[in-house]
Amino acid sequence: AIMDGTDAVMLSEETAVGKHPVRSVEMMAAIARQAEGHREQGLSASEVEEMLLAKQKDLSTEDVVSLAAVQMQQALDLPCILAPSRTGSTPRRLSRLKPKAWILGFSHDAAVCELMQFSYGVCPIRVSSKAWETSELMRLAERALGSKIGGRALMIEGSSRGRTDVLRVVGE
């Protein structure tokens, strides 16, 4: 499942309630870490991108902006993508493209943050309000990543129409 690009794995009830549930979880985590090191041998981001582009007439603005975000992040070698979100949809769209940078999903909604935890490469960060101040998001990004992010990041967000349609480099 990990090689196929899944975001999360879980134990079945039979395994989880056996005599050694903790050891089962530890073993699954070890297998997942090992498989994660070889994930590029599975369904790659470029293959996901090709699948999206193949359905061009059904491609949404959000899909196109997400594809552009991953390409822009790679071209500019930015350390992270900031994705403020009311629903978690934008971080999940980015996640399926498996960028080589952290996706920081910001939301004021605890349930949305919990949902984002299941998306590959997404670090959910709960913020206190619906108002996204870029300087505050950058400060939270630096704190979440445990180091300086070089002063620049990629921001993907929605306009007042509620659709993800804005992409910009922020910082410095």
Whether 140 and 125 have beta carbons less than 8 Å apart is answered as yes
Q: What's the chain's average pLDDT?
A: 81
Cα atoms found within 13 Å of the Cα of residue 52, Cβ hemisphere only: 20
- Place 69 in a pLDDT band, splitting at 50, 70 and 90: very high
What's the confidence (pLDDT) of residue 63?
Answer: 83
The pLDDT-based confidence of 52 (bands split at 50, 70, 90) is: low
Structure confidence at residue 43 (pLDDT):
47
What is the predicted pLDDT for the residue at 5?
61
On the question of pLDDT at 86 being above 70, the answer is yes
| CA–CA separation, 140 and 82 (whole Å) | 10
Other beta carbons within 10 Å of 87: 15
Between 15 and 94, residue with greater pLDDT: 94
Band (133; pLDDT cuts 50, 70, 90): confident
DSSP 9: -
> Span 29-46, mean pLDDT?
64
Lowest mean pLDDT among 25-29, 65-69, 113-117: 25-29
